């Protein structure tokens, strides 16, 4: 019997990145989603293409050997598939992990294989798999008395993913355009500490310590990308490369990444030269006009991006506690708070409502998760007061 992977999330990252690499490894991929339109397209189409752009030439990969299940209407089928799978991955968004946890818990409970199931969350968030595991092992999904048995049946591994998916063509269907560059780093410790070999996945870099990779990526790629988007939106730019052709915006992005680089170098022992090379590579990537990366797409979900552990406040909070400069990051935070009522983005509308309904301190506590004990708190409060007066 061949390898089988269950992937939650039929979106562009799921189809164009995760499933592409699983397919290349030889897995049969079973997509799981609650969106009728995506599931129906996957069920009625035997193949789709992934076009890698941004390199010297476009490369087209054809993805086959997949199935699709709607977990909203066929939960029992999903449980059965997980019970006999080798791997579970997801790309659903950090806030959705709690909703997919119950069905994964039921699938793990029904497993009889002596080989543990590998579970890897592929989300833009620190410790996403740990977060998913916490929901799966919540007593309402996995009773305490079953935890020991549960732990023998599964290995949870955090990962860091890095690949830009630009705006797709309106008539693309299931086909995905995606950046040729990618990085997928997964921690190997859950397997090595028990003497078991980790699963093989095309393109994955297995490492013992993942945190440096996650923070370097989140505080460089995501910080720089979002900074360009929010300043670009504020100055009415259409694409990220348009924003970065503005010398003032490009200078600000470099300044923000100089601040995050200071933290990354001091905290993780990465050399200044290595981090500088990484920053320059990232800015070159996101400046690529072939990606046609729309500013509003990159800026969407500002409530999540303004939260404490995210791309701006994550590094800024730590830097402030160390007494280091955060001026450029504070400017990015201001631009993110100004990303309000953007068409097609519910969070930007919710952000506008919150700013209108609450005083500045309450907004900072509610949106950013900061308290008066945080050194950066008064600076962020001033930003919010400024935005509310604008």
The catalytic position among 21, 106, 137, 217 is: 217
Q: Active site includes 140?
A: no
Q: Give the strand order in the sheet containing 183-187.
A: 159-162, 183-187, 204-207
DSSP state of 322: H
Q: Nearest Cα to 370, choosing from 327, 317, 329?
A: 317
Q: Reduced to 3 DSSP states, what percent helix, strand and coil does the chain have, rounded to the nearest 5?
A: 55, 15, 30
Q: What is the spatial distance between Cα 238 and Cα 228, in angstroms, rounded to a whole number?
A: 11
3-state secondary structure of 195: coil
The pair phi, psi for residue 85, each rounded to 5°, is -90, 165
The pair phi, psi for residue 295, each rounded to 5°, is -55, -45
- Core vs surface per residue 331-351: b (16+ CB within 10 A) or e: bbbbbbbbbbebeebebbeeb
The pair phi, psi for residue 181, each rounded to 5°, is -70, 140
Q: What is the spatial distance between Cα 23 and Cα 329, in angstroms, rounded to a whole number?
A: 39
Q: Nearest Cα to 231, choosing from 339, 372, 361, 81?
A: 339
C-beta separation of 65 from 39 below 8 A: no
Q: Nearest Cα to 259, choosing from 215, 315, 211, 336?
A: 315
**Segment holding 61, helix H or strand E:** strand 59-63
Q: What is the spatial distance between Cα 82 and Cα 105, in angstroms, rounded to a whole number?
A: 9
169 token code pair: 């063509």
C-beta separation of 296 from 233 below 8 A: yes
The structure tokens 């990366």 sit at 293
Helical packing angle, 97-109 and 128-136, nearest 10°: 60
Catalytic residues: 217
């Amino acid at each position: 019997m061949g390898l089988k992977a269950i992937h939650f999330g039929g979106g562009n990252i799921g189809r164009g990145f995760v499933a592409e690499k699983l397919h290349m490894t030889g897995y049969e991929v079973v997509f799981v989603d609650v969106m009728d339109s995506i599931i129906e397209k996957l069920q009625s189409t035997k193949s789709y293409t992934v076009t890698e752009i941004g390199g010297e030439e476009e490369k087209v990969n054809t993805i086959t050997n997949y199935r699709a299940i709607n977990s909203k209407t066929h939960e029992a089928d999903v449980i059965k598939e997980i019970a006999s799978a080798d791997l579970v991955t997801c790309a659903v968004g950090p806030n959705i992990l709690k909703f997919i946890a119950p069905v994964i818990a039921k699938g793990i409970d029904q497993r009889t294989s002596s080989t543990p199931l590998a579970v890897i969350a592929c989300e833009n968030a620190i410790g996403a798999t740990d977060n998913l595991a916490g929901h799966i092992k919540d007593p309402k999904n996995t009773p305490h008395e079953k935890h020991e048995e549960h732990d023998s049946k599964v290995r949870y591994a955090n990962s860091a993913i890095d690949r830009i998916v630009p705006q797709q063509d309106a008539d693309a269907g299931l086909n995905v355009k995606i950046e040729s560059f990618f990085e997928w780093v997964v921690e190997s410790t859950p397997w090595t500490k028990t003497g078991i070999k980790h699963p093989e996945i095309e393109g994955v870099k297995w490492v013992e310590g993942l945190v440096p990779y996650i923070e370097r990526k989140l505080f460089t790629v995501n910080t720089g990308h979002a900074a360009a988007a929010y300043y670009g939106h504020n100055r009415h730019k259409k694409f990220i490369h348009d924003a970065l052709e503005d010398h003032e915006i490009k200078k600000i992005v470099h300044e923000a990444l100089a601040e995050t680089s200071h933290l990354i170098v001091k905290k993780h022992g990465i050399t200044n030269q290595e981090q500088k090379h990484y920053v320059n590579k990232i800015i070159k990537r996101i400046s690529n006009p072939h990606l046609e990366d729309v500013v509003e797409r990159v800026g969407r979900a500002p409530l999540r991006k303004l939260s404490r552990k995210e791309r701006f406040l994550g590094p800024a909070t730590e830097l402030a506690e160390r007494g280091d400069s955060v001026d450029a990051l504070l400017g990015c935070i201001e631009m993110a708070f100004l990303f309000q009522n953007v068409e097609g983005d519910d969070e930007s509308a919710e952000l506008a409502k919150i700013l209108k309904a609450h005083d500045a301190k309450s907004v900072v506590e509610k949106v950013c998760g900061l308290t008066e004990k945080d050194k950066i708190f008064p600076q962020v409060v001033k930003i919010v007061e400024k935005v509310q007066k604008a």
